[in-house]
Amino acid sequence: MTFGEEESFKKPVKDTFEEEMKLEIIKDKMNEISEKIDSSEKKPIVEKPEKKKFQIFLDTADVEQIREAHSWGILDGVTTNPTLVSKTGRSFEECIHEIVSIVDGPISAEVVSLDAEGMVKEARELAKIHDNIVIKIPITPDGLKAIKVLSQEGIKTNATLCFSANQAILVAKAGATYVSPFIGRLDDIGHEGMQVVRDIVQIYKNYGFETKVIVASIRHPLHVIDAAKCGADIVTVPFDVLEKMVKHALTDAGIKRFLDDWAKVPKK
């Protein structure tokens, strides 16, 4: 018997058994890991794209229009401004209080101060009306200052009167909840408003900006289609555009034909 064999012979049986058990456990673990790797290779993980919700806001301060649109079951929010409120002949506070009682969604109310301090003061008062109030602030240097302060205080903001992707970048960095590019007004002066929206959507996607895009100053239903196709989050439309969206000549003709044919059916 050699020295090595003698040492092996002297090794306790218990220690040898424990070592063999440990080796078996290690083998089992390795087999388990190998099976998982093979399974993952056979079944590649496919990430589901995040679902994006397209929302429709009504751009008005007319309470009757808001009630009608709300009754259709498609209204997600409302945007107002001083011009729209002035058309109602009612006080600003009266309009806003009634609107929030109808629509359970974001309601944009605009400040009229031009300095950051005044904007912030107005915004804080408006935010007290209801949790759904969003403060519309024009894109100016003072507007950016106000947006930054309000975002830090948890007050939602809508950066309004946006006419360029550059402006949209700045308000996103300042912390705006929403940005409203005015496409109709750009079209009016010979620019392609929807191209600005496409640029903003792409830039926000590139860098993960959380600011949502509200396509505003909409003139006709095609603007809505273009906004949805390019990935904008929201459109805010006048009531007459909303009415045009639901109408189609072939739908009307079809209804008339059905009713005419039904009139020919013998009745008991």
Distance CA 185, CA 220 (A): 13
Tell me the CATH number at 126. 3.20.20.70
* Mean pLDDT computed over every residue of the chain: 90
Q: Is residue 29 in some structural domain? A: yes
**Do 14 and 141 belong together in one domain?**
no
CA separation, residue 76 to residues 69, 72, 134, 161, 215 (Å): 10, 11, 13, 21, 14
Q: Is residue 183 in some structural domain? A: yes
For 136, the token pair is 């519309």
pLDDT of residue 268: 79
Neighbours of 59 (CB within 10 A): 23
Instruction: Report the run of H or E that residue 107 belongs to, with start and end.
Output: strand 107-110
Distance CA 218, CA 238 (A): 7
pLDDT of residue 205: 97
Q: Is residue 201 in some structural domain? A: yes
Neighbouring residues of 92: CB distance < 8 A, sequence distance ≥ 6: 82, 85, 109
Please classify residue 228 by burial: count the beta carbons closer than 10 Å to its beta carbon, then call 0-12 exposed, 13-18 middle and 19+ buried.
middle
**Do 211 and 113 belong together in one domain?**
yes
**Do 129 and 199 belong together in one domain?**
yes
pLDDT of residue 41: 56
Known catalytic residues are 136
Distance CA 123, CA 133 (A): 9
Question: pTM of the prediction?
Answer: 0.80
Distance CA 137, CA 235 (A): 18
pLDDT of residue 52: 79
Q: Is residue 264 in some structural domain? A: no
**Do 149 and 211 belong together in one domain?**
yes
**Do 209 and 117 belong together in one domain?**
yes
pLDDT digits (tens, 9 = 90+) for 98-156: 999 999 999 999 999 999 999 999 999 999 999 999 999 999 999 999 999 999 999 99
Q: Is residue 200 in some structural domain? A: yes
The domain of 18 spans 3-42
pLDDT of residue 10: 52
Q: Which residues of the chain have pLDDT under 50?
A: 3
* Domains in the chain, number: 2
